[in-house]
Structure 1
Amino acid sequence: MQIIQPHYHAIARTAQDYERMAMSGVVAVAEPAFWAGFDRLYPETFLDYFHQISEFEPTRAAEYGIKHYCWVAVNPKEAENPELSREVLKHMPEFYKKPTVLGVGEIGFHKTTKNEEEIFEAQVEQAIKYDQLILIH
């Protein structure tokens, strides 16, 4: 049996996890962008993370015969800094060209604040503009 894991956070996993998944029949994973457990302070921190999940993780997963796909986004927990979020949004389109990027996600609401709503709408608008899929939490 072949299995697709639709919600996987490889950044928190070891290579042994890929090995075990491959032995269990997992052939593909999709990794939504997520909150790191702390609020990122700089756009470059997001961009490094996006590079990791769109370039490094697919290479690491491929060593075990697993295809790794990802989503890029500003997590709702990080939308309370709209200036930073808008700066990150400016760079997201460069990732849409990568074959491992599925679209914008995961997006949604954490506390349903004005800032979260603004950044959610901006990400939806950007996804529409660039004809990207959207993953809503």
Structure 2
Amino acid sequence: MIDSHIHADTRPYEDFEKMAVAGVELAITCAHDPFRMTTSDVVFDHWHRILNNDIKRAAENGLKLYAAIGIHPRSISKDFKRALEALPSWLKNDCIVAIGEIGLEKASDSEKEIFKRQLQLAEDLKMKVVVHTPRTNKKDVSKVTASIIEETIDPALVIIDHVDKTIVDDVIELDSMLGITVQPQKMTPDEAVSLIAEYGFEKFTIDSDISSSPSDSLSVPKTVHKMKLAGFEEKYIKKVSHDNAAMFFGI
């Protein structure tokens, strides 16, 4: 199994062992908003921890951890241009498989500018992108997000995450991968199984988004278990819990 979106820096050491014991072999940790990003130096410290601390912590517990880094819409420092200018050099790290988590939270002008600039960088580098969709005003903001993606980057380079029934119809036609986030207060394993049963297996990956918010480090294995109980064929379960993510990220 692959958990294609976690925030490893906010999780205790023991969670990596739990995931490995439950059958999660690979995971991707994304940059997010663990601190108040007062300056770009805080952003750099965040990226540094992901690449130099959390990958090591996961490996010690038998979990292969890859990374995505970027400027999250809730992590915009006043001197964000400095972080944007430095990002290409950080992306040369072999552990990085995508730019992310990036996107829009409130669809402000500054968020749109930073989102577009990071998408353009990904397009130039032909690099994959993990795109955030918010909990608040999700449908309206996600429509703006989808429009910017279509205008700026090859959608095939993008995974749109935290997709649920409120926005799936707005993004399903894009040539993008779609992440189903199974997380307390966001989506249950049963709801994820229902969404997959309705829309199919080709475009979806399951992830946990485990973070400092209410989370479950075993949400991907639990969803796989629910799919087995629902009678889905093993090859289709493997597509949404491993194959689609492995193909998209090249891992």
Aligned position for 2:192: none
TM-score by length of 1: 0.89
Aligned position for 2:57: 60
1:90 aligns with 2:66: no
Aligned position for 1:21: 19
Instruction: In structure 1, give the amino acid aligned to 2:10.
Output: A
Taking CA–CA contacts closer than 8 Å with sequence separation of 6 or more, which of the two structures ends up with the larger relative contact order? 1
Q: Which runs of 4+ in 1 moved over 6 A?
A: none
TM-score by length of 2: 0.50
1:121 aligns with 2:116: yes
Aligned position for 1:103: 98
Aligned position for 1:73: 70
Aligned position for 2:188: none
Deviation string, structure 1 residues 15-61 (Cα, Å, up to 9, x no partner) = 1111111111111111111112x431121111111111122211111
Quick check: which has more Rg, 1 or 2? Answer: 2
CA contact (8 A) 1:78 1:85 kept: no
- 1:105 to 1:23, Cα distance in 2 relative to 1, 3 A: same
Q: Distance in 1 between matches of 2:126 and 2:84?
A: 15
- 1:39 to 1:103, Cα distance in 2 relative to 1, 3 A: same
CA contact (8 A) 2:70 2:87 kept: yes
CA contact (8 A) 1:32 1:71 kept: yes
CA contact (8 A) 1:33 1:73 kept: yes
Aligned length: 132
Q: Distance in 1 between matches of 2:110 and 2:40?
A: 17
Q: Match for 2:36 among 29, 39, 42?
A: 39
Aligned position for 1:131: 126
Q: Distance in 1 between matches of 2:98 and 2:7?
A: 16
CA contact (8 A) 2:17 2:63 kept: no
Please give the secondary structure, in 1, of the residue aligned with 2:117.
Answer: helix
Q: Distance in 1 between matches of 2:74 and 2:59?
A: 31
Q: Distance in 1 between matches of 2:26 and 2:75?
A: 28
Q: Distance in 2 between matches of 1:13 and 1:129?
A: 33
User: What RMSD over aligned residues (CA atoms) do the two structures have, in Å?
Assistant: 1.4
Structure 2 unmatched ranges of 5 or more: 133-251
Identity of aligned residues (%): 30
Aligned position for 2:4: 6
Q: Distance in 1 between matches of 2:9 and 2:15?
A: 11
Structure 1 unmatched ranges of 5 or more: none
